[in-house]
Structure 1
Amino acid sequence: MLSELRSIVQAVNAAKDLQAALNIIVHRVAEVMGTEVCTVYLQDPETKRLIFMANRGLNPDLIGKISLGANEGLVGLVARREEPLNLDNAESHPNFLFLPGIGEEHYHSFLGAPIIHQRGVLGVLVVQQKDSRRFNEDEEAFLVTMSAQLAGVIAHARVTGSITADAGAPAKTAVFKGIAGAPGVAIGQAVVVVPAAELSSVPRRQIDDPEAEVERFKSALCSVRDDVRDLSSKLQGQLSSEELALFDVYLRILDDGHWVSEVINKIRLGEWAQGALSQVVLAHVNAFETMEDEYFRDRATDIKDLGRRVLGYLQADTEVESAEYPDNTILCGDELTASVLGEVPREKLVGLVSVKGSSNSHVAILARAMGIPTVMGASDLPYTQIDDANLIVDGYSGSVYYNPSPDVFEHFRVICEEDQQLNRGLESLRDLPCETLDGHRMPLWVNTGLMADVARSLDRGAEGVGLYRTEIPFLLRERFPSEEEQRQIYREQLLAFAPLPVTMRTLDIGGDKALPYFPIEEENPFLGWRGIRVTLDHPEIFLVQVRAMLKASEGLNNLRIMLPMISNVEEVDEALRLARRAYDELVEDGWDISLPPIGVMVEVPAAVSQARQLARRVDFLSVGSNDLTQYLLAVDRNNTRVADLYHAYHPAVLSSLYTVVEAAHAEGKPVGICGELAGDPGAALLLMAMGFDMLSMNDNSLLRVKAVIRSAKIADSQALLEKAMEAETSDQVRTILKAAMVDAGVERLLQPVS
């Protein structure tokens, strides 16, 4: 039944709206399973009642008119228990409820399966027959699989329908839940980012001059025709006549007046060329993919390929004109990247929404550093349909509000004002020392990667750099930067912060950071070739970088070097040997430099267990809490499916942090922390109590963390740590911290006033 299941899912994906999707489901499932009845009940989000939404075999006049509560009928039982129910004599079951007029009295066999999406019940899928028999295991397994496959499709169709109003009808307010990526509230206008030549990601957009748009489309078609003919000519002597016939097929598809006319008609109705092309091509692709004949299924690939080629020309034509970004731009897309952010003028960018990714994706980390409210992992957001829409991004709760009502708008406008007042109030702390009420000093350092970070960091009172991400200059080039280019970049950073210390991490690529000119393709990149593993395998890269750092430090002596992704002492020994070699060579060449402090990042469980042995070999330890949390909890921090399992307050994380501090201090070595946890105002109290010698964070967190520490006493923080270390869940830790911040009168630093 696998092919039938795929066929149904593809047909449902191509449906124009939720009701059409439900009608396809009941008819196709009934056909495949050979049942006389198939029905779908959907749960109303507000009333929680299960509404009779689509059916085959029962009274169609009652669709949308009858409903069941969670305690009513067999359908309510399936929803309440969240498991399938298989009966050969439904009317004899104690939960059976007779619904007059629906026509169920003739059907005795009943099989119902819950439709569950993101742990919530969306509805129930039911099949029924007149014969009194239990459905067999294969039939039950198929219906359960069908429900699981359709859950996401139904959820997406439902939210899409909530923002797709009928012609002339006002757009509705809709709320989409994601993951809080960067704190704050943004109120603005959606600008959808379109990946290059990706048909499924093209947003809908209205245009003023349809005929000009038609000409653009026809021009793109001509360009693709020329490309196909040129490619056919080039391969004339290399392919057989049968293989060359493929290009004739492509040309016939391009000359097909039917689909071309569909695109032109959509354009003349006001849709831009990219959107019209995307909608028509995807509809044809879905139609071909659901056909049983293998030849026609293969044509779907041809149509998709040609559609992408035409789209590529349309996009290239559009990109000739520089993109216009409105004031208060909220950037939206399937998977936002750091490079996309750089294209938007900073003064116009107020918020980010990404369908994929988590709070610890690099774009989210960058957004926090830039102070841009962000929601990640908004998987149900139909982002292609919200271009130019009014949005509110709630980066505190992870919610996105489409077309907010006046009451919702006013609520978040007040929060924005309060945030601005809070930030103005924090400015007065800039030149004050970061110390507790009873005199305990807690140095606050900053994480940087660009020169643009420097002025903000110093302006907000940074006392040093705990992490300078050296991979950023590598990411921004089309080749490895030379030793002299690196020296100049590093010199700028060291000069800007002198005499304050600057901790430069050696090249940390791999995982979710790949260089375009040095690709690392692995099935599991986070457990693969990354960090120190790459640079030790390529000592020429490591030596050039360390030499550049050492040269840059001449006369300043504020450099510290940090080694990433250390998992054993052999890696440290080899890296130290190479660093000393680079130092000795430069001294021989006449450079007046000192060997800087060298430390390691504790990011994997093995480094926690060997923290004391590592500390003996180096000058300092620094915890990278983002990766350490990821590896301890076995949670990919970029995977939205498991993002809710990524808890930096997890007891195992806190225990590991405490272990590292004790190990470093036992060897007389300082230990800092430079992950996102260091910039969490609540967590800062625990980290200070654990004994961390330095906290390093993005510059936007500096004053908030300072405000919390200046409101606390070290003795109270140590008592708070004891309570937190006894907690069994991250939620318990969060509750303990929130209560402590309420008592200190700084709870506003955690979240907005509700």
Structure 2
Amino acid sequence: MRDSLNQLHLELEAATTLPLALELTVNGLQQLLDVAVCSIYLHDESKHDLVMVATAGLNHHSIGQVRLTLDQGIVGLVAQRAEPIHLTDAPEHARFRFFPEIGEEGLTTFLGVPIIDRRENMGVMTLQQPTGAFSDEVSSQLVTFAAQLARIVTRFNGLEALNLPGGGRLKRRDAAERRHYQAISGAPGVAFGKAVVIDSELDLASVTEQKPGDSATELQRLRQAIDAVDLDLHAMRDNWDELLPEGDRALFDVYSMMLQSSSFAVEMERHIVNQGCGAATAVRNVVASHMELFAQMSDPYLRQRGEDVYELGRRIVEKLQDGTAGAEKHYPRNTILVAREITAAMMAEVPAKRLKGIISLQGSRTSHSAILARALKIPAILGLENLAMNQLSGMEIGMDGASGDLYIKPSTITRKALRVKQQLRQEEQQQFETIRELPAETLDGVRIKLYANSGLMADLDDAISCGAEGIGLYRTEYPFMIQNRFPGEEEQLKIYRKVLQTLAPQPVTMRTLDIGGDKALPYFPIQESNPFLGWRGIRFTLDHPDIFLVQVRAMLRANIGLGNLRILLPMITNLSELDSALMLIQQAYQELQGESKRVELPPLGAMIEVPSAVYQAHCIARKVDFLSIGSNDLTQYLLAVDRNNARVAGLYDSFHPAVIQALAQVVRAANEQRTELSICGEMAGDPDAARLLIGLGIENLSMNASSIPEVKQSIRQTSMAQLREQVERLLDAESASEVASGLQRVLGRQRLY
């Protein structure tokens, strides 16, 4: 039976609709557990009751008809208590309610378990039989299947995915007929247009090929396909020549760089030569290994780069298979592009000026598609996992990128509301333009410095155009991740020099290699059971001083004649790590001086992103020129929450009192040692959270470039003296909600959007 139950679990996960999942569950459990009846009830929020949605053993005409409030019946009691109830004489229970029309006569034994997903009670699953008691094994199996079903119900939007009989009391709404969705904002703006769905893309995982040719033939095919894709990328870049600044067009240069990198092409060639496989199989295997590494990364910016690897692999295989990128697609003048995961290359295939917005079922604000959407000033909505995109093709779409609201077949009233929002935001953007060159200064004259986070050359123009006063965090990992070896000093020198020159004389804070554990390199795999607490950050580079010294030498040389470099050390957990890193930097500096290089020792800083560093911040501050708080990792470590895990992501809250008190402790330590303090993380880019931070005494904020205008405007409307007085009171808050509500009272307003 165990194998059959495991097979049922797999079938449920593969179910393509909620009705199918419900039917599989009740029929499968009735047979495998050998019970008379298995039924499922789901919570109808609109009517505040439970409705039977599936049954095996009772009258099927009861589906959609039988309803109980939470204070009715034993089923309602299970939902009320949110715990299993097992009765061997259910009709004698005070809460028993008999429904003569459903055919449950003679069923005295009852077992009910709640269907709960992330603390939300979604319904009840029941078993019934004439006599006897259910075994502990049966009870455990029902609890297990209820937990699995809860995730599936959430995935399919619950009752909205069902077509229940019963006089239309629960009218079905097709996914495509559902009028409103809300997800993640990728880029602000309002747009109306027709959905163009890209859903015929090649699935690399399913790539198979006939018997390959000899190695020489397959190598030639691979090289020809790579060259053809490279030509396509240059054509796409040219397509947007007039619409994008040089820095944003450089995103396509990143694709080309990856195509020609030894890590990518040479690995594929090795597969062909060493394993005797065909070119397409080699591409599939190499892309899969790279994707697996990127998927393990905790940094959302770096994790999102896996999308680039997959896109390149897909295009190479298409060239190998038929020499084309698929049938030519028609793009109307008001195209809203819809795909499971939109890439920059997909966007560039749309004729210039026809693309009005993008909707991606996956992705994040750090994806290249979101970066390009912001550069093009078109709205983007991301993370619509439950959207039935195949039914959207050709439909009229209305979207508000700033709030993440998507409207299908928007009504006249909705269109008017969106246009009003669009007008308000245009006025807001005009206000941002008027202050772009002005300092982020409070009403009482306190100057706050706003910096941008970056990891690619393409980000730098965005930072400059948004009024950033420099780069507060430059991630150096990406050049290491597109190679099949550690990049040499000269390679790194060229990249760092270009970054420093682009921003000069404004400062650029370069974080040394933060790799290892969850950010394994394709040519240096690391296997760990708990990568978040493993061999990463400064631990990795101190264990490999050869790698660390090469990077530091490249940074110091890149800074010659510019003087705008700052070096930041990641994941410092104790003073011995910091001392060792500082000694190595001093060693590199002295070596270069001995080689007659006119290098300068730049300001050196340490990241405060683990609890131990918070408690030793006063000691760390004595040894460095500046501290930088990594609020994302610090929040995760303090709250023991992985924000990329959907099951616990709701517990991730930067307003948690423990986080606020930790920030205050670091501020005190920095002030005592007269050490400069900054913060780089999502908190800095939220206007309200930013004012909380400066109220705590943090006057250097680094964020995504697109957040700078709104944060600057909020600062210029704030009195520092009043803010600090009020924020001091929030340190006694007992919950994140108390911090948030208290902050709103301080600010005297609610966020408009």
Category of TM-score, reference length = shorter chain:
0.7 to 0.9
Deviation per CA, 1:150-173: give whole Å up to 9, x if none.
Answer: 222344355697499999999421
Could you say which residue in structure 2 is the equivalent of 1:172?
Answer: 177
Could you say which residue in structure 1 is the equivalent of 2:99?
Answer: 99
Alignment equivalent of 1:428, drawn from 426, 431, 434:
434
Could you say which residue in structure 1 is the equivalent of 2:619?
Answer: 613
**Alpha-carbon contact 1:505-1:563 (below 8 Å) kept:** yes
Shift of 1:343: 5.7
The CA distance in 1 between the partners of 2:314 and 2:492, in whole Å, is 41
The CA distance in 1 between the partners of 2:480 and 2:747, in whole Å, is 41
Counterpart amino acid of residue 568 in structure 2: M
Could you say which residue in structure 2 is the equivalent of 1:321?
Answer: 325
The CA distance in 1 between the partners of 2:159 and 2:128, in whole Å, is 30
Does residue 716 of structure 1 match 2:716?
no
Shift of 1:531: 1.6
The CA distance in 2 between the partners of 1:151 and 1:512, in whole Å, is 29
Shift of 1:20: 3.6
Alignment equivalent of 1:447, drawn from 450, 453, 459:
453
**Alpha-carbon contact 1:474-1:481 (below 8 Å) kept:** yes
The CA distance in 2 between the partners of 1:729 and 1:591, in whole Å, is 54
**Alpha-carbon contact 1:159-1:381 (below 8 Å) kept:** no
Deviation per CA, 1:58-89: give whole Å up to 9, x if none.
Answer: 22333323322222222222222222222222
**Alpha-carbon contact 2:176-2:391 (below 8 Å) kept:** no
**Alpha-carbon contact 1:369-1:699 (below 8 Å) kept:** no
Does residue 630 of structure 1 match 2:636?
yes
Does residue 468 of structure 1 match 2:453?
no
The CA distance in 2 between the partners of 1:577 and 1:519, in whole Å, is 28
Over aligned residues, Cα RMSD in angstroms? 3.9
Cα 1:367–1:515 change in 2 (3 A) is: farther
**Alpha-carbon contact 1:58-1:102 (below 8 Å) kept:** yes
Counterpart amino acid of residue 82 in structure 1: A
Q: Secondary structure at the match of 2:124?
A: strand
Shift of 1:666: 1.3
The CA distance in 2 between the partners of 1:369 and 1:352, in whole Å, is 13
The CA distance in 2 between the partners of 1:167 and 1:107, in whole Å, is 32
Could you say which residue in structure 1 is the equivalent of 2:742?
Answer: 736
Shift of 1:314: 7.1
Q: Secondary structure at the match of 1:545?
A: helix
Cα 1:375–1:123 change in 2 (3 A) is: farther
Cα 1:6–1:618 change in 2 (3 A) is: same
Could you say which residue in structure 1 is the equivalent of 2:3?
Answer: 3
**Alpha-carbon contact 2:176-2:408 (below 8 Å) kept:** no
Alignment equivalent of 1:697, drawn from 691, 700, 703:
703
The CA distance in 2 between the partners of 1:600 and 1:171, in whole Å, is 50
Could you say which residue in structure 2 is the equivalent of 1:344?
Answer: 347
Segment of structure 1 superposing worse, 387-396 or 540-549: 387-396
Could you say which residue in structure 2 is the equivalent of 1:73?
Answer: 73
The CA distance in 2 between the partners of 1:573 and 1:403, in whole Å, is 62
Could you say which residue in structure 2 is the equivalent of 1:147?
Answer: 146
Cα 1:570–1:182 change in 2 (3 A) is: farther
Segment of structure 1 superposing worse, 401-410 or 692-701: 401-410
**Alpha-carbon contact 1:193-1:333 (below 8 Å) kept:** no
The CA distance in 1 between the partners of 2:182 and 2:517, in whole Å, is 27
Cα 1:606–1:192 change in 2 (3 A) is: farther
Deviation per CA, 1:695-726: give whole Å up to 9, x if none.
Answer: 11222111211111111111111122112212
Cα 1:168–1:667 change in 2 (3 A) is: closer
Cα 1:684–1:482 change in 2 (3 A) is: same
Cα 1:562–1:151 change in 2 (3 A) is: same
Does residue 684 of structure 1 match 2:685?
no
> Which residues of 2 match residues 83-98 of structure 1 at below 5 A?
83-98=83-98
**Alpha-carbon contact 1:364-1:376 (below 8 Å) kept:** no
Alignment equivalent of 1:226, drawn from 211, 227, 232:
211
Q: Secondary structure at the match of 1:105?
A: coil
Shift of 1:570: 1.4
Q: Secondary structure at the match of 2:502?
A: helix
Could you say which residue in structure 1 is the equivalent of 2:51?
Answer: 51
**Alpha-carbon contact 1:689-1:717 (below 8 Å) kept:** yes
Alignment equivalent of 2:542, drawn from 525, 536, 545:
536
> Which residues of 2 match residues 361-440 of structure 1 at below 5 A?
380-381=386-387, 407-408=413-414, 410-440=416-446
Alignment equivalent of 1:675, drawn from 678, 681, 705:
681
Cα 1:21–1:448 change in 2 (3 A) is: closer
**Alpha-carbon contact 2:157-2:386 (below 8 Å) kept:** no
**Alpha-carbon contact 2:161-2:175 (below 8 Å) kept:** no
Shift of 1:608: 0.9
Segment of structure 1 superposing worse, 23-32 or 713-722: 23-32
Alignment equivalent of 1:592, drawn from 578, 588, 598:
598
> Which residues of 2 match residues 109-508 of structure 1 at below 5 A?
109-131=109-131, 133-157=132-156, 162=161, 171-173=176-178, 189=195, 191=198, 196-198=203-205, 224-226=209-211, 317=321, 320-321=324-325, 329=336, 332-333=339-340, 340-341=343-344, 344-345=347-348, 348=355, 350-351=357-358, 353-354=360-361, 380-381=386-387, 407-408=413-414, 410-508=416-514
Could you say which residue in structure 2 is the equivalent of 1:554?
Answer: 560
Could you say which residue in structure 2 is the equivalent of 1:266?
Answer: none
Cα 1:341–1:523 change in 2 (3 A) is: farther
The CA distance in 1 between the partners of 2:708 and 2:513, in whole Å, is 25
Counterpart amino acid of residue 35 in structure 2: T
Alignment equivalent of 1:725, drawn from 720, 731, 750:
731
Q: Secondary structure at the match of 2:439?
A: coil
Counterpart amino acid of residue 443 in structure 1: K
Unaligned runs of 5+ in 1: 200-219, 232-308
The CA distance in 1 between the partners of 2:672 and 2:710, in whole Å, is 31
Shift of 1:17: 3.8
Alignment equivalent of 1:644, drawn from 643, 650, 669:
650
The CA distance in 1 between the partners of 2:187 and 2:211, in whole Å, is 47
Cα 1:731–1:403 change in 2 (3 A) is: farther
Cα 1:55–1:162 change in 2 (3 A) is: closer
TM-score, length basis structure 1: 0.75
**Alpha-carbon contact 1:182-1:372 (below 8 Å) kept:** yes
Cα 1:483–1:12 change in 2 (3 A) is: closer
The CA distance in 1 between the partners of 2:445 and 2:454, in whole Å, is 28
The CA distance in 1 between the partners of 2:651 and 2:679, in whole Å, is 22
**Alpha-carbon contact 1:12-1:24 (below 8 Å) kept:** yes
Counterpart amino acid of residue 653 in structure 1: V
Counterpart amino acid of residue 320 in structure 1: T
Shift of 1:510: 3.2
Shift of 1:29: 1.5
Shift of 1:554: 1.2
Alignment equivalent of 1:603, drawn from 606, 609, 615:
609
Shift of 1:520: 3.4
The count of residues paired between Structure 1 and Structure 2 equals 640
Unaligned runs of 5+ in 2: 165-170, 216-312
The CA distance in 1 between the partners of 2:28 and 2:20, in whole Å, is 12
